[in-house]
Amino acid sequence: MPDAALAALALPGFWWLAATIAVAGIVRGFTGFGTALIFVPVAGLFLPAAQVVATITMLGFASTAALLPRAWRQGNRGEVGLLILAALPTVPLGLMVMAHLDSTTVRWIVAAIGTATLGALVSGWRYVGAVRPPMLLAIGAAAGLLGGMTGLTGPVVILFYLAGQGVAQSVRANTILFLAALDVVIVGNLLLGGITTIQTVYLAGLLAVPYLFTTVIGQALFHPSRERLYRRAALAVIALAVTTGLPIWE
């Protein structure tokens, strides 16, 4: 086994990371989102911010193979395209901000974003107005900025879709399409900026094994009639991950 792979296995907390990504895979499979909100707070306990961002975005590729075909058929590709277009210029800006922040600060930001997202969803807030292109562009830009800065690629778009009036199937498909495309954008920027190391690549590869396996399980569990169950389960798991990842436990 290559030295970089052995070094990844020897990382403190590796098996905690593996267990966390396995749980995140099940949630991602049946809801279409939640991986970063579950994994990033816990990963921040063991990894520097840059490695967390690189690992979670590369892990996105592991679930894409299982989830993208169905989402491509069911999603609104034009709407998702606008979101990605707006995220393109803000991802490198987010990465630049992340590079100037210490890990503890990034973890507090992650906790704040996760808590705010949960609060809005649990409160039952719903946006009932018309969603026009300028709003989609603003949402995509915000998602790109936060994704590059913290690795949380989904909260802005998740909040937008789950707070809306869409049914579970369309929400799930659009979220999968957007997160898959945004992962590609972030990884491309990481590679161009020389931020990703070979050890991080191996770490993501090792964690991808349980993640892909549980994502397939989660997708098999999905059924549109269980929309309320999916939302409650996802919110409960995210709340646990955000609480666990708070810097106050150190």
pTM for this structure? 0.76
Q: Nearest CA to 152 among 218, 98, 196, 192?
A: 98
Q: Which residue has the tokens 């999603």?
A: 75
Q: Which two tokens stand for residue 162?
A: 């789950």
Q: How far apart are CA 90 and CA 146, in angstroms?
A: 9
Measured between alpha carbons, how far is 1 from 157 in angstroms, rounded to an integer? Answer: 39
Most distant CA atoms of the chain, gap in Å: 55
- Asked if 121 and 235 touch (Cβ cutoff 8 Å), the reply is yes
Determine how many CB atoms are found less than 10 A away from the CB of residue 54: 25
Among 193, 210, 216, 191, CA closest to 201: 191
- What is the four-CA torsion angle of 55, 240, 156, 36, rounded to 10 degrees? 10
Q: What is the pLDDT along the chain (250 residues), one digit of tens a residue?
A: 577 677 778 888 899 999 999 998 888 887 767 788 889 888 988 988 888 888 988 887 766 767 788 888 887 788 888 889 999 999 999 989 888 888 788 888 888 888 887 787 777 666 666 667 888 898 889 999 988 888 887 778 777 766 555 556 677 788 888 888 888 888 888 877 766 678 888 898 899 999 989 988 888 877 767 767 777 777 787 787 778 777 776 5
Q: Which residues contact 237 (CB under 8 A, 6 or more apart)?
A: 23, 24, 27, 34, 38
CB atoms within 10 A of CB 158: 27
Alpha carbon 63 to chain centroid, angstroms: 11
DSSP code string of 179-220:
HHHHHHHHHHHHHHTT---HHHHHHHHHHHHHHHHHHHHHHH
